[in-house]
Structure 1
Amino acid sequence: MNIRRLIPAAAVTGAVALGLTAVTACSSSDTSDRKSAGRLDVVASFYPMQFLAERIGGDHVSVTSLTKPGVEPHDLELSPRQTGRLSDADFILYLKGLQPAVDEAIKQSGASHTLDAATLTTLEDHGTETGGDEHGHEHEGDEAGADPHIWLDPVKYTEVAKGVGKSLEKTDPDHAADYRKNTDALVKELGALDTAYRTGLKNTATKTFITTHSAFGYLAERYGLTQEGIAGIDPEAEPSPARISALHSIAEKKKVTTVFFETLASDKTAKTVARDTGLKTDVLDPLEGITDSSKGDDYIEVMKSNLAALRTALGAK
């Protein structure tokens, strides 16, 4: 993941205002097409929100994601067309604190039916001594230091799913029964996923894993693991000699075998650390987007692939 470049609020506000003015006509036309089909026009900020909206909304929603496949969501810059669509959407699902441009665009849009997934569960601080969060990012506002990667914990993701379901019921009461049914089905799947993780990671040779993208704080905490991230460093940048030395000591002491990297960033950092510490490399997907290189077609499948990778790396019995 690339370190987030925070854009000055005034610049973002100006761009958002311009976008809202420039594309009102075309966005209204797009929205009218969806509404004429009798479906709720839903805008999701990035893949984990898109997945929930599609699975819970089913045939009653038309979902558009602001973050296209293969795009790193933290550094997303919205096009005027995307920005303009927000004011006409029936329902917007996003995760405040993850994508500054999205947060500002939603604020400026004046959209009434918005849902911040961060309000549906409890966020925690998995930061490091470098300041900011585990990526070295600095957050603004009341959520400073909060780790937004709640979707990588099936239990927290379940809490969010339930909240999304209830919100859709209120937004579109005519189809409340279907939303409730779809939510229950997804909650059951997520419960099975949680059980698979608990069982699969219960007995392992080590509880520590190293990752270039420190997105797995909630997952590690949930299942009794320890995440050692190359914190405060762009995944594509060379880690400092001091950090490599520290990771070497950790790997030796904790019997670490693998350095994980992600699908939406280069494996350069992981290979550097692995070379200098004598470890292997593998993928641990933060599930910020689904691409052709993803080990699975959706959230559930990729999470199962992540479990398999963790079991191998940790020496599961």
Structure 2
Amino acid sequence: MRLMSGLVALSSLALLASGCSAFSDDTKADGKTTVAAAFYPLAYVSDRVTEGTGTDVQLLTQPGAEPHDLELTVKETAELASADLVVYESGFQPAVDDAVEQNAGGATLDATKVVDPLPFDESAEEHEEHAGEEGHDEEHDHDHGELDPHFWQDPLRMADLGDAVADKLAGVDADHAERYRSNAAALRTDLEALDAEYTAGLGACTRDTIVVSHDAFGYLEKYGLHVASIVGLTPDAEPTGATLGKLKELIRTEGITTVFSEPLKPALGENFAKDLGLRNGVLDPIEGLTDATADEDYLTLMRTNLEAIVAANGCR
């Protein structure tokens, strides 16, 4: 029995490694179109675009997991291999990039090709370089290239992704093409309203700078914010003494009252706030849901973040 189980497991792995399309046959057997979304913001868009079509959206990064550190299981790789469409962001999750290249049997959509990602802040790059110099664990130091991957902090870029997902799915499942596109239009309406809320909410503030744990909020600078981070794009990095010194001086000169931590890795922001006698707030980078935010979604979390910034920066 053990020998047979081992042979089955080896056979499954061999199929995955070869990019075999056997999984796609199983998916089509029930007539459903399937989408594999690499992490939460991509899954949120995919869910909204496919609403009412019977399309199955599978999330590859499980709730509570750190998406930067994702390693795909055999089951998740099989879901990716059999999906009619894989929505991912190249450069953000190396394991997904590799699986798409080796195993994807259907259509693929790389978010970086449609959302016009921004180059990441040079100061963030400096954080990463210093982290490496001071013995940062290279195992967790992912190379995001020269682009800031956190595009979902800009609602209008999320709307552009929604349009692209609808177009891709219309080519895969022509029977529901009109519904996909109408859903994307409804999503754009919601996201444009959210964008307007951020513009109005942050339009007149006592302070225009926020201090955050890791550099996941650079896209908010379109609303007139300045974002200073304790570490760069990689949340597992360690801050340097020089960086902390500059942040302390910034906090003093700008009259900053709050340091923001984040749900999956709260200690960094909490400890820095405590050391300086400042308030600790929470900004969710919305890279994934947790047990505490399981009943929330992208829109509600973005609005909660806005409320936190408004309160911290004395906006009116």
TM-score (norm 1): 0.84
Q: Partner of 1:202 in structure 2?
A: 203
Q: Partner of 2:82 in structure 1?
A: 88
CA distance in 1, matches of 2:228, 2:158: 23
Superposition pairs for residues 287-306 of structure 1, below 5 Å? 287-294=286-293, 297-306=296-305
Unaligned segments of structure 2, at least 5 residues: 1-11, 132-140
Q: Partner of 2:136 in structure 1?
A: none
Q: What secondary structure is seen at the aligned counterpart in 2 of 1:230?
A: strand
Q: Deviations over 1:53-101 (max 9, x none)?
A: 1110113210111100000001000112221332221111111111000
Q: 1:235 to 1:99 in 2, by over 3 A?
A: closer
CA distance in 2, matches of 1:257, 1:114: 44
Q: Deviations over 1:17-40 (max 9, x none)?
A: 757159979x839x73x5444321
Superposition pairs for residues 1-317 of structure 1, below 5 Å? 18=14, 20-21=16-17, 28=23, 32=26, 35-60=28-53, 61-129=55-123, 131=125, 137=141, 139=143, 144-219=145-220, 221-232=221-232, 235=235, 239-265=239-265, 267-294=266-293, 297-317=296-316
Check conservation: 1:73, 1:99, Cα contact below 8 A.
Answer: yes
Check conservation: 1:208, 1:228, Cα contact below 8 A.
Answer: yes
Shift of 1:139: 2.6
Instruction: For 1:181, give the aligned amino acid.
Output: S
Shift of 1:118: 0.9
Instruction: For 2:62, give the aligned amino acid.
Output: K
Shift of 1:275: 2.2
CA distance in 1, matches of 2:278, 2:238: 16
Q: Partner of 1:7 in structure 2?
A: none
Q: What secondary structure is seen at the aligned counterpart in 2 of 1:229?
A: strand
CA distance in 1, matches of 2:245, 2:31: 59
Q: What secondary structure is seen at the aligned counterpart in 2 of 1:290?
A: coil
Q: 1:253 to 1:133 in 2, by over 3 A?
A: closer
Q: Deviations over 1:106-143 (max 9, x none)?
A: 00014240001111121121233463787975537xxx
Q: What secondary structure is seen at the aligned counterpart in 1 of 2:177?
A: helix
Instruction: For 1:43, give the aligned amino acid.
Output: A
Q: Partner of 1:3 in structure 2?
A: none
Q: What secondary structure is seen at the aligned counterpart in 2 of 1:43?
A: strand
Shift of 1:233: 8.7
After superposition, the CA RMSD in angstroms is 2.7
Q: 1:182 to 1:130 in 2, by over 3 A?
A: closer
Q: 1:256 to 1:132 in 2, by over 3 A?
A: closer
Instruction: For 1:191, give the aligned amino acid.
Output: E
CA distance in 1, matches of 2:106, 2:19: 19
Check conservation: 1:128, 1:231, Cα contact below 8 A.
Answer: no
Bigger drift between 90-99 and 129-138 goes to 129-138
Check conservation: 1:154, 1:193, Cα contact below 8 A.
Answer: yes
Check conservation: 1:133, 1:146, Cα contact below 8 A.
Answer: no
Q: 1:98 to 1:237 in 2, by over 3 A?
A: closer
Check conservation: 1:44, 1:66, Cα contact below 8 A.
Answer: yes
Instruction: For 1:301, give the aligned amino acid.
Output: T
Q: Which portions of structure 1, spanning 4 or more consecutive aligned residues, are displaced by more than 2 angstroms?
A: 16-19, 21-25, 34-39, 84-87, 127-140, 231-245, 275-278
Instruction: For 1:255, give the aligned amino acid.
Output: G
